[in-house]
Amino acid sequence: MDSQERDELKAVLQSDVFVRAPRQAKLLRYICNEYFEGRGSNVKEYNLASEVFGRAVEFDQSKDPIVRVEAHRLRQKLKVYYKGEGAGHPLRIVLDPGSYAPRFIPADGVASLESPGNAAFSQPTENLDAESPIQLLRGIAARIRAMSGFRVLPVALGGLAVIILAALIMTQGWRFPWSRVKTSPGAGGISSPGITVAAGALDSVRILCGYGKDLYVDRDGNRWQGDRYYSGGEPASQPPSFIARAAEINLFRSSRTGEFSYDIPLNPGNYELHLYFAETHLGPGTLVGGGESGRIFNVWMNGKMLLEMFDIITDAGGSNIADVRVFKDVTPAPDGRLHLKFEASNYRCILNALEIEPAPPGKINPIRITTRENSYTDSSGNIWRSDRYYSGGQQAMHITRLPVSNTSDPDLYSSERFGNFNYALPVAPGKYALTLRFAETYWGAETYLPGVPDEAGSPTGGVGNRVFDVYCNGVALLRNFDIVKEAGGPLRAVDRTFHNLQPNAQGKIILAFVPIHNYAKVTAIELVSEPD
């Protein structure tokens, strides 16, 4: 594959698109060469600024956005190239938003929800949440009342509503929802009215709701299928936007809205279910506005209530925040299918994605998170997923002369999230053991790059240079925690484990890292089910 990847890079750089864009070509060549040398995940903004764009040692990324600007332009150039000259290439280069590490993936598995010809994502952004004309008119009426400062006469408002409704139907092509035919593709990609059950049950399922293509591969290599096994509802999409706590924004770019159900064929066994939500249509700062109680719905599983009067904004703590609900001991119904039903209370239901995986009875699978941008496999074969579920802080990886000691997995301790930040780990009800992993790789750590501040550490420092607290759902786990003091020096791994932790009412274990002196930090997080 390496030779194919190098050939693809060569073809891209020799194309008309990149011959006319030397700055983006230079950036692409550099990050790909780092990738070929096995250093792709270590490429950071400072390196690119100094080694590609010639910025001085004192480069300040908060004041000079050169790297972010050129990376954005590079993504646009790649998009143009693969729409034109490279359209027939079996391999494609992808640079994910927020990352400088390239990926080479097959054309039929391009990890982008903006692929040409994707019907589910070619809808105009005005579609938003596939809102009906009636719902939009309600919002318009509320705004007229708010702006006018007096009650609008019902007759006048009714006349205005008719005019707007007629215009929208003519210009936007809106139809009433009951006039639409709903179809659901089966596993073979064949569409037919109603539900098409795949030939053969499944052991695990990942579905991007409302996504019209067959496959999406996320940054950890997980394969998500396009929307299937559904009945009712409508697909919806939205342009790129920031979604807090999202491992990947693309998991929240599409959705199925309305009233709908999923009937998913599963092999007999015990599973855990993850439902992915993000409220991007309602809430402060959105076109519709509002907030809590704006969207309430029920979710049923095999005829039993799973979520009652569910409000995404309340559950997530706001709009534009990824919200994942986890359920354990999930089994298929007697007919061999898992039946999920979404029933609206006051507004259209919405679901962005769903995930079903085999799990031990009474437990969920361990949650292992590395603060790296990509997944990591440790010496015991455990897979640590890329950083997710966080809010606040910054990700960093310090280049040290010596590896972290006191561990069989020094690379697991080479990255960090630092600052004032928190994680909201989604779990099912139960008791959990939490292990937090730390190593001081900045204060007092000898570096490969002396004098380079953002990739390297400080040659001085020790006990007292970094002190912070850690809280779980508001209860202190660590007070005045000093990594160097607890580990016996810098570049030494130190872990702390806590037992019998339970989630809050929203099914989250919230970990808050609060600075006392300099920044709080963590390198990796592990959460494992314990016996009740």
Per-residue model confidence as pLDDT tens digits over 56-102? 767 777 777 888 888 888 998 998 899 888 988 999 999 887 788 89
329-348 average pLDDT score: 96
Mean pLDDT, the chain, integer: 82
* Token digits of residue 132: 């009906």
Structure confidence at residue 247 (pLDDT): 84
Phi-psi region of 419 (alpha: psi -120 to 50; beta: other; left: phi over 0): left
Higher pLDDT, 458 or 44: 44
Crossing angle for the helix pair 2-13 and 22-36, to the nearest 10 degrees: 170
Higher pLDDT, 42 or 8: 8
Instruction: Look up the pTM and report it.
Output: 0.66
pLDDT tens profile 173-206: 333 333 333 446 553 333 333 434 444 577 899 9
* Token digits of residue 232: 């009712």
Decide: 306 and 343 in contact? Cβ < 8 Å.
no
Higher pLDDT, 447 or 469: 469
CB-based contacts of 356: which residues, under 8 Å, 6+ apart? 202, 204, 205, 206, 264, 266, 271, 272, 273, 274, 330, 338
Is the per-residue pLDDT at 525 higher than 70? Answer: yes
Strands 254-265 and 271-277: unpaired
One-character DSSP codes across 421-468: EEEEEE--SSEEEEEEEE---SBT--BSSTT-TTTS-BSS--TTSSEE
Structure confidence at residue 479 (pLDDT): 98
